[in-house]
């Protein structure tokens, strides 16, 4: 059985923070302490994997205690939390302490993402940076795309005779390409919307979404990932459209890894307070995968050259975090990669 992640919450934090951490679908073990100096023995016995800490102004003694603690436990991940209005003032301190900075109260998924990135010792930008970029690209492309599409439609209408068939076919091919670009723009818009959380909430069966994604791959050439059927319903409250896009992206990614030569397996599991879609992949091609960058847009394309995975994993992560879930990846002892997408009930 997998051990729960141990998180220590220390300092003058918002009273709701510990409860929000306990409510994460992977159910971490959370302990609260008033200070590093005053509760050092209790923290030593607890041996947390992650330290979520806030400092009072001028807390030099606590900052020194944290530095000492990092020397004693080099593997300890640290998340420095503050109010949104204090984020800029704490940026330099977080960098000096090699801590991940997170604001609280926060947007959906920010806290879970900060904890995961701290555990990976990641220096990647906040997901909001990528989301803002996606939104900007979609807005930048959409107007000229609509302009060109409209002109092509008018131009095609002028070629009506049989002798103009070749030109009509050429325009039709160009229109097909524009539809592909429009689909990518829609995906960027969907991604930016998902970061704000579900637009509506309905009872949605993740098992049915996996089944639909499997049915959509019927005409694809093998090899394909092994996908275990869900023997029971896995109903969550969420945005059906966003969840469908996330599940489809994970299934497509699992299949792409299988075509690359990796052993790729996908299964849906029950959790005590939620549900988990787990992808396990193993193969020599995954050896160079840098986990802190895994969920960055297009990182898989850079890590596995010649294969275009695009926005799929980032979209899945964004949807899951927006639903106050968790998206994690771990390298196992045998070298395989384990992707977990966990959602609360």
Which pLDDT does position 185 carry in this prediction? Answer: 79
Q: What residues contact 228, with CB distance under 8 A and at least 6 apart?
A: 265, 266, 267, 268
Q: What is the overall mean pLDDT for the chain?
A: 87
Q: Phi and psi of 253, rounded to 5°?
A: -65, -40
How many CA atoms are closer than 13 Å to the CA of 93, on its beta-carbon side? 24
Name the percent of the chain in helix, strand, coil, to the closest 5.
Answer: 50, 20, 35
Question: Could you list the pLDDT tens digit for every one of the 345 residues in the chain?
Answer: 578 999 999 999 999 999 999 999 999 999 999 999 999 999 989 999 999 999 988 889 999 999 988 888 888 999 999 999 999 999 999 999 999 999 998 888 888 989 998 898 876 666 666 776 766 777 777 778 787 788 788 877 777 666 677 777 888 888 887 887 887 777 778 888 888 889 999 999 999 999 999 999 877 888 899 999 888 899 999 999 999 999 999 999 999 889 888 999 999 999 988 999 999 999 988 888 888 888 888 788 776 655 555 788 989 999 999 999 999 999 999 999 999 999 998
pLDDT at residue number 321: 93
The CA radius of gyration of the chain, in Å to the nearest whole number, is: 23
Round to whole Å and give the CA distance between 39 and 32.
10
Does residue 263 contact residue 283 with C-beta atoms inside 8 Å? yes
Give the per-residue pLDDT at 275.
Answer: 96
Considering the entire predicted model, what is its pTM? 0.78
pLDDT at 247: 96
Torsion sign across C-alpha atoms 217, 219, 223, 226? positive
Between CA 36 and CA 51, with CA 104 as vertex, the angle to 5 degrees is 30
Q: How many CA atoms lie within 13 A of 124 on its CB side?
A: 24
């Amino acid at each position: 059985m997998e051990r729960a992640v141990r998180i220590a919450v220390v300092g003058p934090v918002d009273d709701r923070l510990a409860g929000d951490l306990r409510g994460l679908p992977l159910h971490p073990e959370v302990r609260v302490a008033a200070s590093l100096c005053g509760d050092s023995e209790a923290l030593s016995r607890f041996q947390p994997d992650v330290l979520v800490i806030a400092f009072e102004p001028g807390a030099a003694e606590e900052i020194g205690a944290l530095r000492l603690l990092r020397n004693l436990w080099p593997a300890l991940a640290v998340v420095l939390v503050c109010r949104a209005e204090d984020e800029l003032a704490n940026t330099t301190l977080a960098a000096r302490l090699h801590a991940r900075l997170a604001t609280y109260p926060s947007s959906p998924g920010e806290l879970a993402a900060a904890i995961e990135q701290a555990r990976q010792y990641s220096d990647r930008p906040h997901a909001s940076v990528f989301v803002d970029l996606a939104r900007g690209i979609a807005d930048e492309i959409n107007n000229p795309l609509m302009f060109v599409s409209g002109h092509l439609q008018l131009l095609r209408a002028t070629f009506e005779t049989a002798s103009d068939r070749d030109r009509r076919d050429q325009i039709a091919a160009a229109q097909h390409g524009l539809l592909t670009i429009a689909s990518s723009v829609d995906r960027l818009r969907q991604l930016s919307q998902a970061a704000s959380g579900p637009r509506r909430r309905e009872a949605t069966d993740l098992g049915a979404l996996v089944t639909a994604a499997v049915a959509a791959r019927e005409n694809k050439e093998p090899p394909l990932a092994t996908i275990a059927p869900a023997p029971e319903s896995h109903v969550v409250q969420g945005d059906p459209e966003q969840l469908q896009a996330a599940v489809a992206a994970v299934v497509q990614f699992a299949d792409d890894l299988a075509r690359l030569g990796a052993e790729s397996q996908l299964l849906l599991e029950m959790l005590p307070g939620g549900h988990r879609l787990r992808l396990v992949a193993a193969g020599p091609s995954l050896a160079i995968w840098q986990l802190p960058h895994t969920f960055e847009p297009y990182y898989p394309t850079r890590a596995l050259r010649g294969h275009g995975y695009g926005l799929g994993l980032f979209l899945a992560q964004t949807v899951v975090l927006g639903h106050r879930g968790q998206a994690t990846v771990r390298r196992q002892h045998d070298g395989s990669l384990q992707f977990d997408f966990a959602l609360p009930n």
